[in-house]
Structure 1
């Protein structure tokens, strides 16, 4: 069977795993070819086609997971379980009469000492610059060679297969006791990234390990997971004590993965990450599952995983690194999960609205622990008054919106923190109402489901509505309305709405163009409208003033308007001018550095 090629056959070339998807001729070439899909989608050159002709379909949606190779190319040699185990844990055979002293490490501090104790062909081992001598490491290797004592066995990527149990051979008594004789005490087993093609191969290994609790079968490509009723009963016994199962990066259809979970009577933890799921079919998982990980898939919404809401014992759900952006798609009901589900992870998704966060309280009625960091929602937060919010602000607004949370982003929430967050959130709602038109008040308050409860707990906020208030998040709040006029001719004016982010250089250019003046000859002065008192001495007087009893000069107080010069540069105009409207006087440098303007004449 190993020399034949068929669809679904697992092969390895230079340590790279692949699956045969096509065997035959390719137009424009001579001889036969094997069309293979590589487990690593970056390894190939196409997606199963050549010169516009599609020869086979790949499981992975990448544009380059496949290649054509000649059947005469020699693949890597597969290994049995025992061969893989020995190559991993007993690769250096030791003589029967081997004796070795206790393990210890000797440090040498004199230069050249290590050359006397270590063979010349071995590079010295150093700890913090000190050369250490190896004594007794052969003994450690010998202890590892005692395979029968191994509890944790990792056989990842060792080209394992069990062709003798494929098809109906397993039920014919084949499979043997090779695994039980080699490592009977194994409790954790990793069979990831090997050459298994049928689920029977995995079952034939596990049924020999009565103590096994954890099983990983990541990265295998099974062409057949179907089982007869007799085989299913045998699997139930083989996996009777397995509590944790990892089926990650297998690209199994959800129906097949769900069917496999029912072969584990006591299964509590399941990992199904990196399987490219965009939605889950209604096929239910084993109801005994309490911890489920669906990390690094392509799930767009919670309605796409509605079948998980039927799990009666689910306590922890990891949805990290998906594409979740909404609760439900159009025309689909709102999924409601079991109250037993208390911990959910939405980090590294595409959540961008507060409405999503607020709906979580309805979708997960038992939610007490949430992780929601690294979502677009927190990258550009702004308060109703236009202030840019920080990540800490986003953290406070999240926990304030979800009243039952006890842990957020792995941080426990204490009573004082909740008090501060909810008070802060209530003030934000008040500001949002303040800067919106009066007729939007009810709509705004309805968008905050906890507003009524917060008012009852902390008191209704006093909304100070300003006349002609502008919402700072609107475009109008980011514009300045400026009236420019020439100091030498007040009848010549120019009005414009200018973004606050415009630089002083840009404004000078606009003014110069509209007044037909070279920008560098313009001087801009913002007339603030604020009058300041200025004291001045009286030097001119009448005869009547001579009768005064005071022989010294009198001091008199005048009032002048405060002006701010807008200095040419890259500083934005919004940093010079306060408010949304302004009057700017334009003075012209005519010649010899004299500014042409109408000077204010003081009255003596």
Structure 2
């Protein structure tokens, strides 16, 4: 039975195979011999208990199944390496080769196959040159050391002596366990601007640690700090704030954050905060961020926010907001967003409010309620589309009242839009409004078929078409779309449906209503479908090359 080495203590991070854990107990267990390690796994489902055994509590876990007792085994329990050891092992060329050898392109050629498909070959000329360049550590700007088992900064000032120029560093999924170690690494990288610490478990800051870290101002150059899936709390973030003097981008997704206490006079340089996939259930928590004078981007997708209620004169520079995958259930949340003077980009899909609603009506409701939007759910709005949606919104408004005055109490922008587009007809009668708006929507939509063909060039498509021998589609689907949809938005739709990146799509319209069936290249992303005379029943061919 191997003895536990002295460098493994309570709080030490270890790795076993691909799983990481924190040591929370070292000692004996009744009815067992020798010493055991009580660990809390990063993966809550990896363990067997919560730190207690047979009624005795040895340590405390955050989840009922994240704790285990394990025996120490030198070959299985990895306690980690230093930063510089990890860096050199990944980026330095094998030193057993001749260090004085001259790069020869003729000997640096070969072939790799993408995704195991041997029909897709990529020539690898230059890989050796890239490796040789990477071996010059001092010239590296972007460094990825994710999952390299780093636990320490190494010997005193070893990193500084390497004279590194790293600007973007990924230390995600490593074994560093405290901010003091992180600070000692970062303090030796004076050009570092972006630091990624995803899936790391850091001990909470306390006053002595904070004082030690503060003495060197190690994070003063950081512009972006990424702490996703670390279980860090907002209170810990506020403690760090005095050290983040020039931080502009803070990424905190997946941390189980529920509250955001006020941060007066803090984070005034921040332009972006990502709080997606947390556990925030009340906009009052988000309101604490409203005083951040430079905040331009706010990601709140994947929380449980039921409504949005803005405090006046807050979020003055907010230009991009994500609230998709929340619990928004009332249009008042979108009416209040109209108060944001700088909001131009919004993502809001997958909320209960939109369940069962056609995408066109959803767009009309949102665009009609919020002035100035240029992008909605990833789709850029042209001026023509905006006008179209606002006019449709006015017709939808007539469902909510028999007079313009009554409608305005429920639709704050109604009066302003009537001045621009004219007042909608209220004479249809309330019982017929739903039928009228549905009919209007149906008249505006056209059904087209999207067909992904297994061809790799326009020439092949032309030849197959002339021979009346088009192959069977790999995928095909019929969609109802607006004739005013721009081609760029159609590409985004195809990407979602077929998984073909927009940049690789080549679109063609086969016009069967012509005397001779013709193929038209659909290439201008800023044109709408009407420009290409795409009409009801047309077939849009999608090639991927």
TM, length-normalised to structure 1: 0.63
> In the TM superposition, what whole-angstrom CA distance separates every residue of 1:118-171 from its partner, at most 9, and x where no partner exists?
xxxx9999996488887775454333222222111111111112277xxxxxxx
What is the aligned partner in structure 1 of residue 147 from structure 2?
157
Tell whether the 8 Å contact from 2:407 to 2:414 is kept in structure 1 after alignment: no
Alignment of 1:353-372 (within 5 A): 353-362=330-339, 364-372=340-348
Tell whether the 8 Å contact from 1:105 to 1:132 is kept in structure 2 after alignment: no
**Aligned-residue offset at 1:187:** 1.4
2:137 pairs, out of 147, 150, 158, with: 147
Tell whether the 8 Å contact from 1:303 to 1:334 is kept in structure 2 after alignment: no
Correspondence 1:345 to 2:322? yes
> In the TM superposition, what whole-angstrom CA distance separates every residue of 1:543-597 from its partner, at most 9, and x where no partner exists?
xxxxxxxxxxxxxxxxxxxxxxxxxxxxxxxxxxxxxxxxxxxxxxxxxxxxxxx
Q: Distance in 1 between matches of 2:8 and 2:80?
A: 15
> In the TM superposition, what whole-angstrom CA distance separates every residue of 1:79-105 from its partner, at most 9, and x where no partner exists?
011111112112632233434412577
Tell whether the 8 Å contact from 1:254 to 1:283 is kept in structure 2 after alignment: no
Kindly tell me: are residues 375 and 130 of structure 1, through their superposed partners in 2, closer, same or farther at Cα, counting changes over 3 Å?
A: closer
Question: Which deviates more from structure 2 when the two are superposed, residues 247-256 or residues 365-374?
Answer: 365-374
Tell whether the 8 Å contact from 1:126 to 1:132 is kept in structure 2 after alignment: no
Determine which structure has more spread, i.e. the larger CA radius of gyration. 1
SS, match of residue 243 in structure 2: coil
Q: Distance in 2 between matches of 1:131 and 1:365?
A: 51
Alignment of 1:137-536 (within 5 A): 137-162=127-152, 176-226=156-206, 228=208, 231-236=212-217, 238-283=218-263, 285-327=266-308, 334=311, 337-362=314-339, 364-381=340-357, 390-433=358-401, 445-464=408-427, 466=429, 469=431
Alignment of 1:542-557 (within 5 A): none
**Aligned-residue offset at 1:256:** 0.9
> In the TM superposition, what whole-angstrom CA distance separates every residue of 1:181-211 from its partner, at most 9, and x where no partner exists?
3352211111222222221111111111222
What is the aligned partner in structure 2 of residue 600 from structure 1?
none
Kindly tell me: are residues 57 and 444 of structure 1, through their superposed partners in 2, closer, same or farther at Cα, counting changes over 3 Å?
A: farther
Alpha-carbon RMSD across the aligned residues, in angstroms, is 3.5
Tell whether the 8 Å contact from 2:83 to 2:153 is kept in structure 1 after alignment: no
2:17 pairs, out of 11, 14, 17, with: 14
Kindly tell me: are residues 452 and 205 of structure 1, through their superposed partners in 2, closer, same or farther at Cα, counting changes over 3 Å?
A: same
Q: Distance in 2 between matches of 1:97 and 1:459?
A: 79
Q: Distance in 2 between matches of 1:105 and 1:30?
A: 57
Tell whether the 8 Å contact from 2:113 to 2:122 is kept in structure 1 after alignment: no
Kindly tell me: are residues 232 and 395 of structure 1, through their superposed partners in 2, closer, same or farther at Cα, counting changes over 3 Å?
A: same
Correspondence 1:75 to 2:77? yes
**Aligned-residue offset at 1:366:** 2.9
Alignment of 1:23-62 (within 5 A): 23-24=26-27, 32-51=35-54, 55-59=58-62, 61=63
Q: Distance in 2 between matches of 1:21 and 1:431?
A: 62
SS, match of residue 401 in structure 2: helix
Question: Which deviates more from structure 2 when the two are superposed, residues 42-51 or residues 133-142?
Answer: 133-142
Alignment of 1:89-108 (within 5 A): 89-90=91-92, 92-93=94-95, 94-102=97-105
**Aligned-residue offset at 1:43:** 2.1
**Aligned-residue offset at 1:277:** 0.8
Kindly tell me: are residues 52 and 451 of structure 1, through their superposed partners in 2, closer, same or farther at Cα, counting changes over 3 Å?
A: farther
Q: Distance in 2 between matches of 1:361 and 1:130?
A: 50
**Aligned-residue offset at 1:28:** 6.7
Q: Tell me, which stretches of 5 or more residues in structure 1 are unaligned?
A: 109-121, 165-174, 382-389, 474-604
Question: Which deviates more from structure 2 when the two are superposed, residues 457-466 or residues 403-412?
Answer: 457-466
Q: Tell me, which stretches of 5 or more residues in structure 2 are unaligned?
A: 436-545
Q: Distance in 2 between matches of 1:5 and 1:105?
A: 44
Tell whether the 8 Å contact from 2:173 to 2:198 is kept in structure 1 after alignment: yes
Tell whether the 8 Å contact from 1:15 to 1:76 is kept in structure 2 after alignment: no
Question: Which deviates more from structure 2 when the two are superposed, residues 97-106 or residues 422-431?
Answer: 97-106
Tell whether the 8 Å contact from 1:214 to 1:244 is kept in structure 2 after alignment: yes
Kindly tell me: are residues 126 and 465 of structure 1, through their superposed partners in 2, closer, same or farther at Cα, counting changes over 3 Å?
A: closer
Kindly tell me: are residues 36 and 444 of structure 1, through their superposed partners in 2, closer, same or farther at Cα, counting changes over 3 Å?
A: farther
Tell whether the 8 Å contact from 2:109 to 2:126 is kept in structure 1 after alignment: no
Tell whether the 8 Å contact from 1:89 to 1:147 is kept in structure 2 after alignment: yes
TM, length-normalised to structure 2: 0.69
Q: Distance in 2 between matches of 1:233 and 1:49?
A: 37
SS, match of residue 219 in structure 1: coil
Q: Distance in 1 between matches of 2:382 and 2:367?
A: 11
> In the TM superposition, what whole-angstrom CA distance separates every residue of 1:13-55 from its partner, at most 9, and x where no partner exists?
1232111233445567665543311112232233334456654
